[in-house]
Every structure is written in structure tokens, then in C-alpha cells.
Amino acid sequence: MGLSFWIYIIIAIVFAIIRQMKKSAKVPGEQPRSNPDYDHSDGKPMTFEELLREIQASKNPSPPPAPVTKTGYKPVKPSFVDYDDDIEKEEKGLETISTNNDNRSFELYERAKREAFYRPSLEETMKLEDTVMKYGHFKEYDETSKKSVARDILENFKDPEGFKKAFIMSEILKRKF
């Protein structure tokens, strides 16, 4: 039996003593804190409605009782106050609207609606012969491939003669020191 065994035994004894002291420190008449979702009086679990009612009751304390007047009756307060009664008159808009112009525009609209049936539609007026069918209108906007130095070098590498030129150029341009 090593030292670690005796350390574990001592820790277990200290733990048991502390636990025993906590149990004896509790007052025997004190009830343990009740679980809110379990009613101990009936032995039945609380329903969701009962639990919700209990939570709302704890959040909203009951209002103090109303004072009693000399006659013995409690004063009755109105359930709501209508603030619209105090408004004298509604504000009116500042713009003026003329009705003469409305009649004229309405007449123009109705006349155009009646004449629309007598006018030919777009399908009736459009003919295939009138449509321009030339191709190449937008060739001006096509991008032309521009020659670049990189493209020239790549073409030289593909060609054996170009590769020889490139090798000679590299030897000429290479620094000696």
C-alpha cells in the first residue's frame, strides 16, 4: 500500500465528516424547498395551467384593497377613458382641389377607352417586311484580340526556331557576376 492509497482514504474520511456536519446543521422542522412543477400536497404533478397561474400570481402582486367612503361603498372608477371627446375638430389639409379639372380628365379617359377598340393593335400594324433583318449591326462592339508580348513569347516557345532565339537571348542577357 502506497502513499497515494492513504491520501485517498484520508480524503474520503474528510468528505464523510463534512457531509455529516452539513446534515446535522439543518433544522429538522425546516421543509425542503418545494419543486415548482410538483405539488407535494396531493402527490400529483401540477398541470401547465396551474403552474402558469402560480408564476403570474407571483409576478403580479394583488392590488391593495380600495378605500371605503362614508356611505360604505367603494368608489367605482371608469374602465377606460375616451380621449377623443376632448378633440374639438380635425385638422384639414391646406391644398385646394378643383373639381372642374377632374371632370375633364375623366371624360378624356372614357373617350380614349372607347376609341381603343377601333384602333388596330400592334400585332395588326406590324409586318415582317418592315423589320430590318441585317446581321452584323453590332460587329463594331466586338473585342478584337490584341497582340501582347506574352502571346509572342508563347508562340516563340512553341516554334523550335523561336526556342533557339529565346535561348540565345537568355545567354546574352544573363549576368556573369
- The answer to whether residue 154 sits within a structural domain is yes
The pLDDT tens digits of the residues spanning 85-123 come to 666 666 667 777 666 666 788 888 899 998 888 888 888
All cell numbers assigned to 170: 537568355
- The answer to whether residue 166 sits within a structural domain is yes
- The answer to whether residue 49 sits within a structural domain is no
What DSSP line would sit under 96-142, residue for residue? ---HHHHHHHHHHHHHHHHHTTTSPPHHHH--GGGS---S-TTGGGS
- The answer to whether residue 73 sits within a structural domain is no
Mean pLDDT, residues 66-90? 67
**In Å, how far are 1, 37, 141, 146, 176 from 167, measured between CA atoms?**
83, 90, 40, 26, 16
**In Å, how far are 50, 60, 80, 114 from 56, measured between CA atoms?**
10, 6, 24, 68
Highest mean pLDDT among 25-34, 57-66, 73-82, 126-135: 126-135
Q: How many domains is the chain partitioned into structurally?
A: 1
- The answer to whether residue 165 sits within a structural domain is yes
Whether residue 162 is predicted with pLDDT greater than 90 in this model: the reply is no
- The answer to whether residue 141 sits within a structural domain is no
- Overall pTM surpassing 0.75 (yes/no): no
Domain that holds residue 163: 150-177
